[in-house]
């Protein structure tokens, strides 16, 4: 079972990957949205901001606002997704990952996934 620190490291690695992205993927990371990642098995929610092609201000501190992009999964699935050993579409189809966002944001995010 992944730990909270392993999940934080995975989110930081995801941020670094987004910063190195090119082309359409790079364009998809250039918007400014609040983001949360709830890990059901660890009972923790990471919050941050997707801005300028990276994740910023990643914290587990509660926030009053409801994030514009919300991801719900387990710690193990988050780590596997970032590592590239779990396919997002397959995990989403099986209910292992839940993504909530506006329709417009989903159209942009599909380039990342």
pLDDT at position 71 is: 94
Three-state SS for the chain is CCCHHHHHHHHHHHHHHHHHCCHHHHHHCCCCEEEEEEECCCCEEEEEEEECCEEEEEECCCCCCCCCEEEEECHHHHHHHHHCCCCHHHHHHCCCCEEECCHHHHHHHCCCC
pTM of the model: 0.87
- Report residue 16's pLDDT band, with 50, 70 and 90 as the boundaries: confident
List the domains of the chain with CATH numbers.
Answer: 4-109 (3.30.1050.10)
Give residue-wise pLDDT tens across range 30-65: 789 999 999 999 999 999 998 888 889 999 987 767
> What are the φ/ψ torsions at residue 59 (nearest 5 degrees)?
-150, 160
pLDDT given at position 20: 82
Is residue 19 predicted with pLDDT exceeding 80? no
pLDDT digits (tens, 9 = 90+) for 60-93: 987 767 899 999 999 999 999 999 999 988 999 9
pLDDT computed for residue 48 by the predictor: 94
Q: How far is CA 87 from the centre of its chain?
A: 14
Assign 104 a pLDDT band (cuts: 50, 70, 90). Answer: confident
- Tell me, what's the pLDDT at 112? 65
């Amino acid at each position: 079972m992944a730990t909270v620190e392993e999940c934080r490291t995975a989110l930081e690695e995801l941020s670094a990957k987004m910063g190195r992205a090119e082309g359409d993927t790079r364009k998809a990371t250039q918007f400014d949205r609040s983001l949360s990642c709830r890990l059901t098995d660890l009972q923790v929610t990471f919050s941050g901001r997707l801005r300028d092609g990276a994740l910023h201000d990643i914290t587990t501190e509660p926030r009053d606002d409801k994030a514009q992009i919300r991801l719900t999964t387990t710690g193990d699935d988050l780590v596997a997704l970032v590592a590239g050993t779990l396919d997002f579409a397959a995990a989403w189809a099986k209910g292992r990952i839940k993504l909530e966002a506006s329709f417009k944001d989903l159209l942009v995010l599909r380039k990342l996934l």
